Chains A and B, each alone.
Chain A
């Protein structure tokens, strides 16, 4: 009898909790898209708690094209790929670059945005005077030699410094690959956290995408961009929608929608609205 009441109670509670569960349909009439919610202006949270940003607007546009009802949820960036594969949502639109490593775990659509990455430092820091300010280098095979020379040129000034970066990102990968023994890399859960530590002087610099840092240095007069800008190769081939390997049909749908959005200028319009410049990948 005791066992029975216990089991009944347990079942009741499980039902209560299980009501939070939901099964996904295969016809893709409803799609759950995950974003980070802390990566302005790609995706962030406004004071009323609503998710807003370039990718939120783009997601709504893509879903209209795919004739699907979309639900956008927030997910911490460092767990977003395992969570996708665990079925928590169906797609990732979180400023995520296409990289070889990520392609081992998930599949991507064509990219809808591409910006290089660079360093941001305090204006008062010696690192504000990194050479080749603003020059863009590609880490793709054709440009790798020139980029490597530029990277080597930075090493003397960066030696021993502490650089902050968001964990799980292509930027973190880049630092590990090219600067591992030169600097101390500190990995943060969000970009907002490493900005706080940059302002506090705990790290000597941060390394992130231009699209993000531009807004940050505009808001904080103490910060400035420094050094050359890198893209491609380890830093990825552009931001795209991430999907499970077992959903090539959804990938095809998204791909068509992204292609259409780029072709008719929607991406350009939205990106100018949010970034101030056009981030559409130029092929």
Chain B
């Protein structure tokens, strides 16, 4: 079957399915990235301003999640996550099993990994803020909350954008691994198509192009965001 027919939107075409799978990829990557941002912020905070115990915990988290293959994290959270959720559910009085579907466990897994990376990005971005600004803020009598809201967060975000752009692309690519636990995102859909039609090259090339599209659009978006955020800042 010709490539156009295979990927098109006709009765034997897989185009619609692949598009839906692309939507799923974006969805799971977005949820994972947001989760990772929350985690990353917590970790960065723990490592810079926490007590020794928190620092160690945050460091350990980062080392473990950056040291194990993403595939293992996804498998562990898929099989182990249900056991954990069931235990929590039983403690809260629910009977039977609490299932965590592939989307949730995949998003949590990628989010956990992303959190480790985003922690590093936020830490570095925070460190880039001039100490003098923080001193001045405190000298003028800003409360810690105000300092955080008006000085730290805006500037941390500004310096974090290039790193976050990178981490977002990582999340997009890691979503491909969630195919192993059955989520129908781009790679899984490509595998189903390849197995069914025995034309693996066509499907995997299409999958590659879809990912390229997503990463290049994201890259362009983040470059625009960086330009906007860095308006007026003198660069070395």
Binding site for B on A (CB under 8 A): 1-2, 6, 9-10, 13, 16-18, 20-26, 32, 37-38, 44-45, 47-49, 73-76, 79, 82-83, 86-89, 190, 192-193, 195-196, 199, 220
Report if A16-B31 is in contact (Cβ < 8 Å); known contacts: A23-B97, A192-B196, A196-B200.
yes
Within 8 Å by CB of B35, from A2, A13, A25, A75, lies A13
Alpha-carbon distance A273/B80, docked complex (angstroms) = 39
Q: Could you tell me which B residues sit within 8 Å of A by CB distance?
A: 11-14, 17, 20, 31, 34-35, 38-39, 41-42, 45, 75, 78-80, 82-83, 85-86, 89, 94-101, 103-104, 107-108, 144-145, 148, 180-182, 184, 189, 192-196, 198, 200
Chain A interface helix/strand/loop/mixed: mixed
Instruction: Tally A-B pairs: CB < 8 A.
Output: 118
Q: A25-B96, A196-B195, A196-B198 are known; give 18 further A-B pairs, CB within 8 A.
A: A1-B145, A1-B148, A6-B38, A9-B38, A21-B89, A22-B99, A23-B96, A24-B99, A32-B99, A38-B195, A47-B11, A47-B196, A49-B189, A73-B182, A86-B80, A87-B82, A87-B99, A88-B97
Which A residues are CB-close (under 8 A) to B41?
A: 6
CA of A280 to CA of B144, assembled, Å: 74
A36 to nearest B CB, angstroms? Answer: 10
A18-B104, A21-B104 known; A44-B96 Cβ under 8 A: no
Given A17-B104, A17-B108: A74 and B31 interface contact (C-beta under 8 Å)? no
How far is A73 from B103 in the complex, measured between Cα atoms in Å?
13
Whether B97 and A24, one on each chain, are in contact in the complex, defined by CB atoms closer than 8 angstroms, is: yes
- Complex: A6 Cα to B46 Cα, angstroms: 12
Chain B: interface secondary structure? helix
Do A48 and B196 have beta carbons less than 8 Å apart? no
| Contact, CB under 8 Å: A76 / B182 | yes
CB pair B196–A75 under 8 Å, yes or no, is no
Docked Cα-Cα span, A227 to B193, in Å, equals 31
| Residue of B38, B82, B98 ringed by the most chain A CB atoms within 10 A | B38
